[in-house]
Structure 1
């Protein structure tokens, strides 16, 4: 069973984890006007002060609710995450709820970027759910380090998608945003990641042709230059600046130096004693003297060739660890 983080009521878990308590938060947000039309209103349009107050109350309620979920230790995390990967619903819910505070913390970093904080949190929660599915506890790292990449990726994808929307009447912007949000949610559930027009139309109870037209309008903003205007004066449709960022950060850019050191430390501690000795004296970890293959062999009573083999095996393991965080091999020297 999963608690609704806004109402506090206990509800039966739904068939898909993406349809759980997080969707309810956004429904309540829409009900009080805390959606995209707040961020994209035309000059001169203002939201009622009561809506602002309601939005703050909802955020406060949400933050208070997620504090009630206990954190888990690294040992508990390893056991629970293995059960989650095996399909245990209760374990999956525990992995998610124990990390909701991490999502909220990361989402705060993206405020004032075009999406309300509750939308950022919802996108981050979808990234968290994906991380739970992909996490491999046997690698010896904390889940929070691994999940940070997926949480940030989902949030940044949502912000990037929102930046493509053209300046249109607020009700049209809101309608497009509903379609985009639905598409992302359906994509998160799909094994292929592909979502058709008919699926989106069915989920939003809209005519497929209407959905197709709105998404085509959204996609067209990718193909027209920045600040392009359609019409005879400035009051007509004006496209937002939309230059794709081909140099977007990789997972490595989201893992700071301290986290990288933790990753290496945890990885090192998982190695057998002989492999630890090879790492220490072949790579100079912990300020150990760098020795030749032969010298290391003498130290741990192995042949020079066996030390070389162990070294190669260790490097393969390290590359696998690096790859699991999305860091390209040529960039791994930063480790």
Structure 2
């Protein structure tokens, strides 16, 4: 098998024509004999031979396609189902022990289905229909048991419950979950009905919190009012120094104020510090 063919096999295309070509490609790959499979698995187990791992994966890709077809009724892309199954196959190859005495295909089927199950459950409904292990088992078994689009009759519910070993209430609840439709988050662009609502109408607009904005404005106004009231308690010189040093648009330097009051710059700094301490004390009252 060439490297180009191997790369093509691991990347599942999405287009219908390309997917058909992919399926033909993997179906053309030779299946391994039992002794070949054992030898490759042993090489991988003992030496970590990645080429052996690749041969084991490639020879079983057709089986992944076969399993993935069984999940085509969920409305999910077949290419994605196959891709998830391939991930399960790779996990199985990594954990496969050839000395146990079973073929890789028997061991890998559980890993392949587990990955596809997880993908189906995550994508088939926005609201999860199955959250526990028991619900997941019931979900997939119930999908297989449904042979028509309508609801089960009481007799059919009883029959399914008996066959699956669960209660009638469990069957009815799961059927209801599966039949539920996820509402559109936003209205369609052509919907102009004023009486129509969607979930997006009920979300809080985090960018416009009116209550918080009013609270912030009130706090700022109160703080500003208390600041100017505190400034008025200072003597005229201290008020002028603070005004010139902090409140005017064009700030005045210590040297300029020292020249104006004919004192040292250090004295202006002391007066400024004392005025600041008095303001702080007033603001904390």
**Same fold, TM-score > 0.5, yes or no:** no
Q: Which structure has the larger Rg over C-alpha atoms?
A: 2
Higher helix share: 2
Query: Taking CA–CA contacts closer than 8 Å with sequence separation of 6 or more, which of the two structures ends up with the larger relative contact order?
Result: 1
